[in-house]
């Protein structure tokens, strides 16, 4: 039994269009608790090395969170093949502002918004939270006249993020250069890094770790960071650098490491005791920070 779940809500699930590029709609899957609210609202970003994946991927996280009394908006955004960096960041920034404008209709409030992401989605969640007013990310104006909301959030949940894209790229290239056997994920992620980022300079510029190490002035909302100790796709040294740098800058990080769990365990090993503990922690953290 999950002790973090204070109430169990019935939920409604629907897809809504939040943005359109030419004739291509971008959809958000909304998980909405039934009740008066106001409920916290979490914007959720899927993984896929910035180039694959969709809003359905993390329903195993989003549904339990919604049933605890949280509105969850799981986004589709333009993949790297159609919009290299910072294209998806502009979609995400727009979506946060769009959802804030409609928070009342969704049973929430503009001041009760957080963000959550898995793998590359965790990277994008953290980068968006750190730079909510970056002009490149704010490039898409809201259509409503007089819109004044920004894309700032009150907390971040990262599930095994690619917290340093350049660090992960260098790690993957080194493993591949050493020859087989190496983790099969390496052959999947390397071309997607190239497709989305295009240059190593862009990977460095868009790295939350390196932004902190450069002394960039960024927002520092509270962070919950979850990762398995046997995760071969998300290098542990990059995690350690981020946690140290974020705390040094004055931010708060609640780091949870799950012994023996591998890559993306909340998707591929959802029935494990570790996944149940991680879901409990996500629910507890979101309600504590946004409730």
Residue 13: how many CB atoms within 10 A of its CB?
Answer: 14
C-alpha distances out from residue 256 to 66, 130, 234, Å: 22, 21, 14
Q: In what order do the strands lie in the sheet with 223-228?
A: 11-21, 24-33, 71-75, 41-45, 113-118, 156-159, 223-228, 253-258
Residue 76 binned pLDDT confidence (cut-offs 50, 70, 90): very high
Average pLDDT score over residue span 216-240? 98
Residue 143 binned pLDDT confidence (cut-offs 50, 70, 90): confident
Tell whether domain 11-290 is in CATH 3.40.50.1820: yes
User: What dihedral do alpha carbons 171, 172, 177, 179 form, nearest 10°?
Assistant: 120
> Does the structure show a pLDDT above 70 at 20?
yes
Q: What is the pLDDT of residues 22-32, one digit of tens each?
A: 999 999 999 99
Q: DSSP 3-state assignment of 73?
A: strand
Report pLDDT for 7: 66
Q: What is the pTM of this model?
A: 0.96
Contacts of 278 (CB under 8 A, 6+ apart): 159, 226, 256, 258, 265, 266
Q: What is the pLDDT of residues 150-165, one digit of tens each?
A: 999 999 999 999 999 9
């Amino acid at each position: 039994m999950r002790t973090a779940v204070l109430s169990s809500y019935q939920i409604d699930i629907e897809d809504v269009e939040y943005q359109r590029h030419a004739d291509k709609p971008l959809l958000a899957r909304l998980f909405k608790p039934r009740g008066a609210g106001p409920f916290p609202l979490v914007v959720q970003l899927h993984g896929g090395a910035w180039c694959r994946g969709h809003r359905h991927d993390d329903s195993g996280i989003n549904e339990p969170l919604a049933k605890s009394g949280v509105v969850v908006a799981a986004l589709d955004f333009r993949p790297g093949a159609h919009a290299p960096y910072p294209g998806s960041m502009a979609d995400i920034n727009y979506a946060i502002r769009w959802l804030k404008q409609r928070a009342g209709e969704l049973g929430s409030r503009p001041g009760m918004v957080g963000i959550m992401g898995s793998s590359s989605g965790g990277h994008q969640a953290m980068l968006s939270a750190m730079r909510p007013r970056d002009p490149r990310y704010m490039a898409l104006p809201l259509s409503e006249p007089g819109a004044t909301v920004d894309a700032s959030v009150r907390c971040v949940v990262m599930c095994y993020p690619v917290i340093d894209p350049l660090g992960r790229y260098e790690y993957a290239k080194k493993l591949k250069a050493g020859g087989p056997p190496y983790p099969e994920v390496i052959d999947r992620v390397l071309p997607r890094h190239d497709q989305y980022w295009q240059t190593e300079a862009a990977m460095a510029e868009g790295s939350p770790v390196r932004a902190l190490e450069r002394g960039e002035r960024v927002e520092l909302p509270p962070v919950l960071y979850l990762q398995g100790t046997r995760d071969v796709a998300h290098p542990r040294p990059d995690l350690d650098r981020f946690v140290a740098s974020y705390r040094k800058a004055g931010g708060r990080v609640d780091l949870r490491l799950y012994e023996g769990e591998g890559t993306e365990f909340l998707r591929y090993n959802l029935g494990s005791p570790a996944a149940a503990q991680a879901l409990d922690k996500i629910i507890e953290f979101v309600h504590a920070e946004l409730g």
